[in-house]
Structure 1
Amino acid sequence: MQDLTYTGDLIMNPPSNELSPVAMQAPPLRRLCRITARVAPLVSLGEAAYGERRYVPIIGGEVEGEMLSGAVLAGGTDWQIQRRDGTLDISAQYVIRAADGALIEVESRGYRHGPADVMARLAKGEPVSPDDYYFRTAMRFQTGAPAWQYLNSVLAIGKAMRRPDAAVLDVFLVG
């Protein structure tokens, strides 16, 4: 077996079946929309095996963008584990009704964390700049609507911020 050295950007000494030792370029991002998911108060299930298990009901919201606009439907849930290391592990699932009436399921998994004082201010509902903490999600979609079929086969990332009444995600398709 050939030795490989990972340098952070590319693998040096690639196997002979590799076409080139040059690293691939990062995929482009294309803005899909901004999702504002309004939420009800957090519900804690208490301390569980991996941390505090809790959920946040999604009660509606807006979707704004040139590529996708519409509404977030009530009935979704943001399941969370507040890990002991301070990281919030997020798994949200909800439905968007596009402006043309199409229904699009969103599955969003990610993390939120930051300095303890910043996270404490956020938990109190104080305004906090999204640049002061990390809140990112990986997103997948499912729909039967013909106009939106391409969403069934792409990934998106969300850069998010938390307000007392909502999570706001700027969503980018990964090229």
Structure 2
Amino acid sequence: MNFNFYKNALGTVTLALLLVIAVHGFSQNSNPENSEDIYRDFKTELMWKANVKIGTMINVGKSKRGTRRVIPITGGTFSGPKIKGEVLPGGEDWQLVRPDGDTELYARYLMKTDDGTVLQILNKALMHAPAQGEEGGFYVKSVIDIEAPIESSYEYLNHAIFLGTLEMPQLKPNEAPYVIIGVYKVL
């Protein structure tokens, strides 16, 4: 058989598949009733809460984008309905206090499950404290990327979107500083 025949046939089949996908996707999204309601009521499932110990903040200083600072992640624990373990020391939370007063956080750290699996966490958050007279309260939410080893019992974490919360608890005297990060899977 001729190689060009296979090449042309493969090209035709690929084009046909792309057209089917495009038409199917367009027909799903062209219904105004569906497009307005599809994301109205997101549902989430708690995956875990982490008590993340933090070190002393390093103030990097003012930059062209705002004030930069870094907070070391020194350890901690996490637990949820299907998973638990420890937050490994060595991660960092890079922060940018923007000229408008909001703070962008970019944390990268590792967590080790109780059965020895290491997960990589990238947590990108936004904090907003309302100015005096501004409506609304303190706001902090994040988008979390979880990378689990392939063929591990936690591979399912690679196939979802996760949102996060951040709590800064009132510390007791002589208590080491920590934050509480809630991780929720978008269903």
Deviation at 1:169?
1.2
Bigger fraction of residues in strand: 1
Is 2:104 aligned against 1:89?
A: yes
Structure 1: runs of 5 or more not aligned: 1-15, 118-130
Amino acid in structure 2 at the alignment position of 1:62: T
Bigger fraction of residues in helix: 2
Residue in structure 2 matched with residue 150 of structure 1 by the alignment: 156
SS class of match (1:100): coil
Provide runs of 4+ in structure 1 moved above 6 Å. Answer: none
Distance 1:60 1:45 in 2: 22
Structure 2: runs of 5 or more not aligned: 1-25, 172-176
In our comparison, the structure showing a higher alpha carbon Rg is 2
Amino acid in structure 1 at the alignment position of 2:56: P
Among 107, 128, 151, which residue is 1:113 paired with? Answer: 128
- Over the aligned positions, Cα root-mean-square deviation in angstroms equals 2.0
For 1:6-45, list aligned pairs within 5 A: 17=27, 18-22=29-33, 23=36, 24-25=38-39, 26-45=41-60
Is 2:75 aligned against 1:60?
A: yes
Identity of aligned residues (%): 24
Amino acid in structure 2 at the alignment position of 1:170: G
Size of the alignment, in residue pairs? 147
Is 2:175 aligned against 1:170?
A: no
SS class of match (2:45): strand
